[in-house]
Structure 1
Amino acid sequence: MARGPEPRPAGAAAPGEAGGNRTRILSPYLGLRLKGRYELIQVIGRGGMSTVFHAVDHVRLGARAGRPDVAIKLVTLAPPHDTAARALIHREAQRMLELIHPNIVRVYDSDHDGDRHFLVMELLRGRTLAAILRDRRGRGLDGPQACGCIRSVGAALAHAHAHGLIHGDLKPGNVFICNDGRVKVLDFGLAQRTVQAPHDDEDATIRLLDQVGALTPRFASPERLDGCPPTPACDLFAFGLLAYMVLSGAHPFQRRTALEARAEGVGPRRPEGLSAHRWRALKALLAFDPAHRPARVEEFTNRFLAQSVLAQAFALPNLRARWRAGAAFLAARRSSP
């Protein structure tokens, strides 16, 4: 069956991705049809363990389905680490099938064709947050878009934690801004359970991750870099790093790791234009000591996204109400230690 013109997809962190001048990446896998079904037609992203392709599902195409295009994440890591990467990609599928949320990329299945192991996902059209921030050259997103991004990523992270999963690799390259404005969190390949399920060997998983060098040091918490097992607090620290970059366009520790920043006494500077109450909320996420971070994602997002008391006072409908609320605010500030 003949196909119409191919859509122009955009995927995760494709080299050369910038505006309309996207470089087409060649791969020996292009034209391959996995399981006689998924035809790989364009590279849309590359990571340390895998390559992501725009693919056509010929089963859906033959059935005249409205959306035959999917994304295929194919393990392309060379030996001796390919075995670990294959195990991780099927484990990722198992995790992702549990996480149905509008701000988390959908994973439909995993399979293998001989020694080619792959994940089948929804095809997203847009760009990664990393690519967008690169183009903005040290400037964060505009105010409403920044808050919307932080709200969406926070919702995705809260949903994962509520289902007992730690993302483990939250960073701008794993956040996708769709052309229609939707925000999707990608790549739960490093996700681990907060409570170990029967027959679910998390220690073995950590050994697999160590084999393939999966951790991204500049977006890892200090305790994770110290070799401690991942916890929800590690995700919160990474979320703080990401939120800071969304707001300012820069890494809070000038691209140092958390361990380097802590050792050198380097702390984040307040992003220009960020209100005092939002800065206090964000600084708490970036605490080197996990005990000083919020216990839950929602504690941060509720505090960060809420208007300050004074802003709420000035939003009141009449002058007398504003005066009373402002006076109460100032009285409370004077009486606070």
Structure 2
Amino acid sequence: MLAQCLQDLVNSHRIPYKLAVDLFDTALAEGAAPPFPAADLDAALAAFHGARLRRHARTDTRMSDSLAPARMHAQEPPTIGHLLRDRFVLDTVLGRGGMGTVYRAVDRRRLEAGAPQPYVALKLLNGPLANRPEALAALGAETRSAQELAHPNIVTVHDCDRDGPHPFIVMEWLRGSSLKTVLHGDADFVGSQRAYRAVVDLCAGLAYAHYHGVAHADLKPGNLFLCENGRLKILDFGISSKVLSDQREPFDRSNFAPNKESPGENRSAQIRPGSMKAATEDGGDVVVVLTPAFTSPERICGRGPSLRDDIYALGCLVHLMLNGRHPFNRMSAVEARERRLVPPALPSLGASARRVVDLALSFDENLRPADAGAFLDAFSSGARRDVLQRTEQRLTDHR
């Protein structure tokens, strides 16, 4: 295939991207119609374009403007190929959200240092938000919250910076897919060993955040990422809040959870607004858009975020990963409470572990585990009891 041959030549650096495009255009002009769909051609040309950007990112910034990555102008919206802070070359759009757009970018310093992986993820605020002081405060608070949480199950945030009117966060670039994508596209995931590992990873990362007094406040499948190596990472502490307390539990770093002797029952619910709820000097707030299906009833009714609010979302996520369904068919907690719904059984779990998940989904916040560490400890202990009971039952049946 012509396109594949040209792509192989570009990838092996035997011909430049521009020459490959010229050769392809010439073939088309001479009537040599490609024997493959136009979509394949678009993908091939996109790959050529990405290769060109990566090669240019390695070159000196003094090269001619016709070849170098384009620098941002003051009011120009960022696009693929733009250079931020004379360092980051925007390479690919990874995702878009209400607050901003996330790009994969080539970090030229990493290239200069000979790093085997030159990519980072850049989250840029959307145009209207970029000039709002409260949104900038939100971005800074998100950076600070995430930088305090160095944990293998929480995405690493490197820095917060701006290029003219364009503020952005620099994060680690992850290979894989969001949990939302996996749940919709991978029929073998739900209830598998990968799903159980993801549940434990989520609990571990959240327990570490809760130990440091940070509530995520927006847990949902779109904010969880499954890496290619199977590890789950929590993303976007963008509306996180700090729960202040004079007391801290002993911390068992072997499983990233508070010790069971001090499950965190006395932790106060005094909330210091974090990023998306960051108060501005004039008293303004950034508007928070909640996801009702994963939000506790007390928060829907106007309460601020808390650790137990995260626990309600955690219970919903456990059902999605182990059973493939939301426990209340994606109804809000308030509607589910009014209808007196109860979560369905999780057949893959024993009675003890199921009881812990059911408590996490209680509409009465006082019945939920105090934090993710307490949940993880109770869930793990319950699972061990269930295994022991099943083993004893099998032995009895064989006698």
Work out whether the TM-score is over 0.5. Answer: yes
Which stretch has the larger CA shift, 298-307 or 165-174? Answer: 298-307
Deviation of the 1:45 alpha carbon = 1.1
Secondary structure of 2:128's match?
coil
Secondary structure of 1:288's match?
coil
Please, which of 170, 192, 195 is the counterpart of residue 143 of structure 1?
Answer: 192
Please, which of 82, 86, 95 is the counterpart of residue 36 of structure 1?
Answer: 86
Secondary structure of 1:239's match?
helix
TM alignment of 1:114-263, pairs within 5 A = 114-136=164-186, 141-195=190-244, 202=273, 206=277, 211-263=286-338
Secondary structure of 1:253's match?
coil
Q: Distance in 1 between matches of 2:314 and 2:293?
A: 12
* Cα separation, partners in 2 of 1:295 and 1:247, compared to 1, 3 Å: same
Q: Distance in 1 between matches of 2:192 and 2:89?
A: 41
What is the number of residues matched between the two proteins?
299
* Cα separation, partners in 2 of 1:171 and 1:77, compared to 1, 3 Å: farther
Percentage identity across aligned positions? 38
* CA RMSD between the two structures: 3.1
Task: Assess if the C-alpha contact under 8 Å between 2:137 and 2:275 holds in 1.
Answer: no
Q: Cα deviation per residue 1:147-185 (whole Å; 9 max; x = unaligned)? A: 211110000111001111111111111111001111101
Q: Distance in 2 between matches of 1:52 and 1:263?
A: 38
Q: Distance in 2 between matches of 1:147 and 1:158?
A: 16
**Which structure's CA Rg is the greater one?**
2
Task: Assess if the C-alpha contact under 8 Å between 2:140 and 2:160 holds in 1.
Answer: yes
Secondary structure of 2:277's match?
helix
Q: Distance in 1 between matches of 2:92 and 2:127?
A: 18
Higher relative contact order (CA 8 A, sep 6+): 1
Secondary structure of 1:212's match?
coil
Q: Distance in 2 between matches of 1:89 and 1:311?
A: 45
* Cα separation, partners in 2 of 1:309 and 1:90, compared to 1, 3 Å: closer
Q: Distance in 2 between matches of 1:300 and 1:214?
A: 26
* Cα separation, partners in 2 of 1:204 and 1:60, compared to 1, 3 Å: closer
Deviation of the 1:143 alpha carbon = 3.2
Please, which of 256, 281, 300 is the counterpart of residue 375 of structure 2?
Answer: 300
Secondary structure of 2:199's match?
helix
Q: Which amino acid aligns with 1:72?
A: L
Match of 1:95 in 2: 145
Deviation of the 1:265 alpha carbon = 1.9
* Cα separation, partners in 2 of 1:244 and 1:201, compared to 1, 3 Å: closer
* Cα separation, partners in 2 of 1:4 and 1:88, compared to 1, 3 Å: farther
* Cα separation, partners in 2 of 1:105 and 1:144, compared to 1, 3 Å: same
Q: Structure 2: give runs of 5+ residues left out of the alignment.
A: 1-9, 13-42, 47-76, 247-270
Q: Which amino acid aligns with 1:122?
A: E
Match of 2:385 in 1: 309
Q: Distance in 1 between matches of 2:112 and 2:386?
A: 60
Deviation of the 1:313 alpha carbon = 4.9
Q: Distance in 2 between matches of 1:136 and 1:83?
A: 41
Deviation of the 1:83 alpha carbon = 3.8
Deviation of the 1:63 alpha carbon = 2.8
Please, which of 59, 70, 85 is the counterpart of residue 135 of structure 2?
Answer: 85
Q: Cα deviation per residue 1:175-209 (whole Å; 9 max; x = unaligned)? A: 11001111101000111110189xx9628963669
Q: Which amino acid aligns with 1:219?
A: F
Q: Distance in 2 between matches of 1:195 and 1:310?
A: 36
Q: Distance in 1 between matches of 2:173 and 2:130?
A: 30
Q: Distance in 2 between matches of 1:136 and 1:58?
A: 35
Deviation of the 1:32 alpha carbon = 1.2
TM-score, reference length from structure 2: 0.68
Q: Which amino acid aligns with 2:182?
A: I
Task: Assess if the C-alpha contact under 8 Å between 2:131 and 2:165 holds in 1.
Answer: no
Q: Which amino acid aligns with 2:377?
A: N
Deviation of the 1:72 alpha carbon = 0.4
Q: Which amino acid aligns with 1:263?
A: E
* Cα separation, partners in 2 of 1:196 and 1:144, compared to 1, 3 Å: same
Please, which of 271, 282, 285 is the counterpart of residue 346 of structure 2?
Answer: 271
Which stretch has the larger CA shift, 289-298 or 115-124? Answer: 289-298
Q: Distance in 2 between matches of 1:38 and 1:203?
A: 28
Which stretch has the larger CA shift, 291-300 or 30-39? Answer: 291-300
Q: Which amino acid aligns with 2:179?
A: L
Deviation of the 1:134 alpha carbon = 1.1
* Cα separation, partners in 2 of 1:234 and 1:37, compared to 1, 3 Å: same
